[in-house]
């Protein structure tokens, strides 16, 4: 990666070798990192990532909003109603 690159990981924590990332950030091998997942979920309070100016960390809850919870509730109710009517929807394995 270029020294100006910014690594973004929002998939799974173990996709990125955290020790190697910390080393790359310290020695300016990459420009920065953005993460909402970590090798060890809950990021330890002594993690160097928490003290680095070139790192942005956020909680892994992007989907969790009032709107998404309302939509999940609505879809669940609708699925049950349609099943009772004999017209199942969102069937994964018919």
Query: 5-34 burial, b if ≥16 CB within 10 A, otherwise e?
Result: eebebeeebeebebeebbebbeeeebebbe
55 bridge partner residues: 33
- Tell me the domain boundaries of the chain: 6-57, 63-94
Overall pTM surpassing 0.75 (yes/no): no
pLDDT at 31: 97
CA dihedral angle for residue 29, residue 35, residue 40, residue 44, rounded to 10 degrees: 80
Q: What amino acid positions are annotated as catalytic residues?
A: 12, 41, 60
Residue 37: name the closest of 64, 21, 61, 54 by CA. Answer: 61
User: Which pLDDT band holds residue 38 (cuts at 50, 70, 90)?
Assistant: very high
| Spatial contact of 54 and 33, defined as CB atoms under 8 Å apart | yes
- Of residues 30 and 43, more confidence is placed in 30
pLDDT in tens, 49-85: 999 999 999 887 767 788 888 999 999 999 999 999 9
């Amino acid at each position: 990666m270029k020294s100006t690159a910014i690594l973004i990981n929002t998939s799974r924590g173990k996709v990125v070798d955290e020790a190697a990332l910390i080393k790359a950030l310290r020695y300016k091998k990459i420009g920065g990192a953005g993460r909402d997942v970590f090798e060890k979920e809950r990021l330890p309070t002594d993690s160097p990532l928490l003290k680095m100016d070139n790192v942005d960390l956020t909680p892994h809850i992007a989907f969790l909003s009032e709107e998404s919870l309302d939509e999940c509730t609505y879809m669940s109710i609708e699925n049950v109603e349609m099943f009772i009517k004999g017209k199942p929807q969102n069937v994964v394995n018919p």
